[in-house]
Amino acid sequence: MFKQSFLVVSLLTASCSVLAAGNHHQDKKHNALGHAPISIMADHLHKQGEWMVSYRYMDMQMSGLQMGKEDIGLDHTLSAEGKNYMMAPKDMQMKMHMLGMMYAPSDNITLMFMTNYLSNDMQMAMRMMNSMNGAMNNDMSMDAPMSDDMSNMGNGMSMDNSMAMQHMQMQTSSSGLGDSRIAALINAFNGDAYRSHFTIGLNLPTGDVAQTRTDNEGNKITLGYPMQLGTDTYNAFAAYTLTYQADQIQFGSQFNYETALEKNDAGYQPGDKIVWHNWAAIGINSDISISARLSYTDKDNFKGQDKKLNPMMMPSADANMRGVKQLDAAIGVNYVFNGKLLNGHRVAFELSKPISQDFDGIQMKTDSSLMLGWQKAF
């Protein structure tokens, strides 16, 4: 059903773009510097009666474990002499497809809707030690299934004999519709070289928090928090964006705050989140601009705990190990078509890497994040 809906939306988006290209004056000049980096959402308002459609694709890579600011080895995480977890994540890839639409009923207000489709793949390690004995039999059914025949792992499981401690490898995945967002961008004040606006909005719980895997006995096992697709909560969010532009230089800053309004049915409430973006961009010409961005994220731990997850089994099942303070650096490019073909279409990319990460408890480190995007206003 979703694939059919996704196809319909894509066709409507393409149709709108074709109509937009036909309705626009072909000699209208667009400026790539008028846009923030593609990772910045809701960066500017539109003129009365204007629509905009957008598509973004994000690919985030994560690997290795870190506790606080220090790296922590997989063996130490799993061993009885160390943190004594039965399982731990090794690496993960998150792919996100984002569709957005904006409409301006007036010059001072722009309305926004966004939704996304997520695909997550995580490789996990499970400890295998003779000293586990009966504890393995008691605990494995909770979140670490194992077949009676250790030589026949099945279900994507394999042995890793290259490490000091034997690990069993397991692949888990989840995919589906994520949370959606509605928001209003409200003009604040503008000058000859600067503009600013407020954003207020609501996160809609369209994403699932009951993603599972199937063990060797056919039981459904709830996946850890990073593998879930949404929050199952209504979250209020707000932002303030200030942009200064003169000649072929732009500076911008956007401060975001988000808080969950309730606990979800699973028994937990996502932590509050602050994100502060700051960027600078230079216009090479009217068609192309390059940007550099610094972003700081401060995310709190969850309140409560998913009743189906055992936090003693693995770090990613612990609601008290979701908080992080992170500083990211990014570079990006905007390109706007100004010819007769594809006039006004914008394509962009941005590559982001963390400078520092400080986690609450043990979590997977982010290696990089790539964002590709397309936009068209009409």
Tell which wins on pLDDT, 70 or 6.
Answer: 70
Residue at 226: amino acid letter: P
The predicted structure's pLDDT at residue 81: 85
Taking residues 53-60, what's their average pLDDT?
98
Q: What is the pLDDT of residues 57-98, one digit of tens each?
A: 999 999 999 999 999 999 999 988 889 999 999 999 999 999
**CA-to-CA distance for 155 and 172, rounded, in angstroms?**
9
Name the region of 232 (left: φ>0; alpha: ψ -120 to 50; beta: rest).
left
Mean pLDDT score, 216-231: 94
Separation of alpha carbons 24 and 47, rounded Å: 14
Q: Which fold has domain 2-377?
A: Lipocalin (2.40.128)
Residue 204 has pLDDT above 90, yes or no: yes
pTM of the model: 0.83
* Nearest alpha carbon to residue 36 among 240, 238, 277, 255: 277
Model confidence at 148, pLDDT cuts 50, 70, 90, reads: very low
